[in-house]
Amino acid sequence: MKHGKKVNHLGRKVAHRKSMLANMASSLIEHKLINTTLAKAKALRQFVEPLITKSKIDSTQNRRLVFRALRNKYAVATLFRDVAPKVGDRPGGYTRVIKMGNRLGDNAAMALIELVDFNEVYNIEKSEAKKTTRRSRSRKKNIPSENIAPETENLSDTSELVDDNAPKNVTEEIDTVTQEAFEQNPQETKDDTATESENKEDA
């Protein structure tokens, strides 16, 4: 009876299961994303994440331990050279499992397993979301009260802004100009009026 045994045998013997997981882990490290069944993806996640944690400290001992599990020197080199620097700040949870529906034929549940830090789609969305969430508060500049025009509460108050000495109409302005000119040179204005009357008679 299978009580308290959390290891999924995946229908294989121990040697076959370890070889399969080592090959899948090497493919995941090389391609950063693979498609497999949901049961294998969950078993691979438990297999590969401790190896990624060991790769954070680049030492001969850790390289030997990882090589014993992966059995592929090229995958070990890629893990310590490319993957470890990118996941150095992440405290676990290096992989993501996404369900992809059922497979045609045997109707097996399929899944996609990938390295979280190498997914460009999710990382771009997060960076854009961070940029959009920033809010800038508009600070109003303190304008001195001397430069501000006086505000009028009612229309009746606008009469205070109008100069009393300013002419109200154009005709009044013309009359004042002619009156001032007559006061300064009364003789010239009389001659001008006389010539105008003579011209009218001749016409």
Domain positions in the chain are 14-120, 165-198
pLDDT per position as a tens digit, 18-53: 999 999 999 999 999 999 999 999 999 999 999 999
**Domain made up of 14-120: CATH architecture:** Alpha-Beta Complex (3.90)
Question: How would residue 173 be classed by pLDDT, with cut points 50, 70 and 90?
Answer: low
Q: What pLDDT sits at residue 119?
A: 87
Question: How would residue 2 be classed by pLDDT, with cut points 50, 70 and 90?
Answer: confident
Are the CB atoms for 78 and 30 separated by under 8 Å?
Answer: yes
Are the CB atoms for 43 and 88 separated by under 8 Å?
Answer: no
pTM of the model: 0.60
Q: Which helix (H) or strand (E) holds 42?
A: helix 38-54
d(CA 94, CA 113): 10
pLDDT of 111 strictly over 60: yes
